[in-house]
Amino acid sequence: MILHFSDARLIDPETGTAEPGSLTVEDGVITARDGAAPDGAAIVECRGHCLAPGIIDWGVKVGEPGERHKESYASAGRAAAAGGVTTMVIRPDTLPPVDSPESLDFVVKRSADSIVRARHMAALTKGRAGQEMVEMAFLRDAGAVAFTDGVRVVSDTRLMTRCMTYARGLGALIIGHPQEPILSRGSAATKGKFASLYGIPDVSPVAELMGLQRDLALVGMTGARYHADQITTAAALAPLRRARDAGLDVTAGISIHHLTLNEFDIGDYRTFFRFTPPLRSEDDRLAMVQAVADGEIDVIASFHTPQDEESKRLPFAEAAPGAVGLQTLLPAAMRLYHQGGLDLPLLFRAMSLNPARRLGLDAGRISAGTPADLVLFDPDAPFIMDRFRLESKSKNTPFDEARMQGRVIGTWVGGQRVFG
């Protein structure tokens, strides 16, 4: 099969360009750019729309095993394809957690139900209980791309040091959740006048700063490879900058929700806006957008967290945190583009190229010789989000009924069309 994408606006995060061009794909691999269509090629008329590397969504929750009613690999794959996501990097916070080669083998086999690619992270400690390190070497040999306990902070500093020391010997990547666990326990909003007026249990942004500083100090001591899953406050940027200036192998990410929403969106206590960490002030949100523009924040992800209706139909502080995001990541990111804060190549650097590089995946690019994982989209197409039309089993999106722009026209994985 030979495909030729003609009359496209090529979004290239490697070169930082968005220019008219074409792509030729043969046997699932990009073979040429800006050339004529080969004889016998199937032509995909892009009509001037944007053609970009498929999104690599780092930190996706799938409910298998244990919570399949919230999300299956089949439903997550459909949602991903509809959102231009070609690779899901799956979290290990399942029931039970992915903390052994056997449990990793189970989810790898189950992910065959997905129509997009799936790569898997493993837990950092057994049962995500923060008491005993997993068999990291065996898990890495079985295909784990990184190690994390998710939002459960490993509070035992000695154990975290051992994990980092062992990971360094393997060259494995550790992902931390920068929060001071005692200070942030039970919180549902960011400390300030708004949270006080609404009577919501809150946490100071200093909890993120303290958690990050601890982890960075241990990285400095052990030399481990480290990624902070979500940096959401301006105060955390300075220690991150110092760590990089000192030569530490450190990267950072943020959720699309923390880039496009702020604490006031909680409004009438809608639990779809309940997140961990909580939504921040507008000043912090703007600082994070600038941090992405400056390259201080490397990765933008959806942190897709499906929750059923029963988990959300509770008082705000008691509701389960998180939102679905596989299908809404791209249109939400277009808010940043249309507001003028981030251009398209920069957005796809954070959503595709950087996660691929950090995780060692052959993806995130549109150069010759790379897999044809592609998304064709119209960044200007307006629509009103209807959560009941999402492909995910769970419908907990904060963008329900919001006016949005950016519609996926087609998604290809290894040259095979999986959406559109």
**Tens-place pLDDT, residues 206-219:** 999 999 999 999 99
Residues 281, 287: contact at Cβ < 8 Å?
no
Residue 222 belongs to what H/E stretch? helix 206-222
Q: For residue 97, is pLDDT > 90?
A: yes
193's CB contacts (< 8 A; 6+ apart) are none
* pLDDT confidence bin for 1, thresholds 50/70/90: confident
Confidence of residue 232 (pLDDT cuts 50, 70, 90): very high
Could you give the CA distance from residue 38 to residue 42 in angstroms, rounded to a whole number?
Answer: 9
pLDDT at 401 over 90: yes
Whether 341 has a pLDDT exceeding 90, the answer reads: no
DSSP secondary-structure letter at 320? P
Model confidence over 306-324: pLDDT tens digits?
A: 999 999 999 999 999 999 9
Which domains, from first to last, does the chain contain?
Answer: 54-364+378-403 (3.20.20.140)
What span, in angstroms and rounded, lies between the C-alpha atoms of 257 and 323? 9
Backbone phi and psi for residue 188, each to the nearest 5 degrees, phi listed first: -135, 0
Of the candidates 359, 391, 390, the residue with the CA atom closest to the CA atom of residue 87: 359
Q: Model confidence at 226, in pLDDT bands (50, 70, 90)? A: very high
Residue 267 pLDDT > 90: no
Whether residue 92 contacts residue 150, with contact meaning beta carbons closer than 8 Å, is answered with yes
User: Furthest-apart CA pair in the chain: how many Å?
Assistant: 67
Q: How many residues does the chain have?
A: 420
Is this model's pTM higher than 0.85 or not? yes
Q: What is the pLDDT of residues 47-58, one digit of tens each?
A: 999 999 999 999
